[in-house]
Amino acid sequence: MALPGRDLSDQPHADEIMGKKAYKSVKDVPGVIDVAVFAIPPSSARKRWSRSARRRFRAPVLIPSGFAETGNLAGQEELVGIARKYGVRLMGPNIYGFYYTHKNLCATFCTAYDVKGKAALSSQSAASHGDHRFFALGENGVSAIVGLGNKSDIDEDDLLTFFEQDDNTQIIASTART
């Protein structure tokens, strides 16, 4: 866990944050890291992702924008190349993250949804997530809400494959903005 506004891969100044153990570096975290959210400036994304990817996170989420959506294709390809080198799948960049309500997992910078349901919602654009939020906060609930951002690696096909096999999901809805 890291303090807001601080780099997620380094926390050299605290032993504990909000009651949870803090590590000086991601390489000091014991065991397997299931999800890692990189909410860092795009200028440091390559460096931090390169140093951290060796841990082979099961679900790395790169929040920063400033890549293919701005014409920085080479920067985005470099991030994907790092993921390929270490054999991990990458969500993002330019993504708001995801929720998986049945595991109480909020891997985003937004407020968590706590109404569990059977519908998985995904969108390329964070602008569409306002509609998803109204749906999720109602009595229907959701199993998951996933942002795809630039879809540099994980895309709609990957989500369909995952949710098809997910016992907590019965309905899948996906929207796109251009």
- Residue spans per domain, the chain: 16-85, 97-175
pLDDT in tens, 106-137: 898 777 777 899 999 888 876 555 555 556 55
d(C-alpha 144, C-alpha 136), whole Å? 9
Q: What is the pLDDT of residue 143?
A: 93
- Could you tell me the sign of the dihedral formed by the alpha carbons of 90, 136, 5, 16, in that order? negative
Percent over 90 (pLDDT), the chain: 41
Q: Is the pLDDT of residue 70 over 90?
A: yes
Comparing 45-59, 61-75, 84-98, which segment has the lowest mean pLDDT?
Answer: 45-59
Percent over 70 (pLDDT), the chain: 84
Q: What is the pLDDT of residue 92?
A: 93
Is 16-85's fold the same as 97-175's? yes
Helices (H) and strands (E) in the chain, counts: 4, 9
CB 124, CB 151: distance < 8 Å: yes
Nearest-10 crossing angle of helices 42-52, 73-85: 10
CB 58, CB 33: distance < 8 Å: yes
Q: Is the pLDDT of residue 166 over 90?
A: yes
Q: Which residues are registered as beta bridge partners of 146?
A: 98, 122
pTM of the model: 0.81
- Could you tell me the sign of the dihedral formed by the alpha carbons of 93, 61, 101, 161, in that order? positive
With respect to CATH, is domain 97-175 assigned 3.40.50.261? yes
Q: Is the pLDDT of residue 1 over 60?
A: no
Q: What is the pLDDT of residue 126?
A: 63
| 14 or 114: which leads in pLDDT | 14
Burial bucket for residue 15 (CB in 10 Å: 0-12, 13-18, 19+) = exposed
Q: Which residue has the tokens 């080198």?
A: 85
Please state the CATH superfamily assignment of the domain spanning residues 16-85 in this structure.
Answer: NAD(P)-binding Rossmann-like Domain (3.40.50.720)
Mean pLDDT of the chain: 84
Tokens of 141: 């609930």
**pLDDT (average), residues 34-43:** 89
Q: Which residue has the tokens 């060796």?
A: 54
**pLDDT (average), residues 36-47:** 89
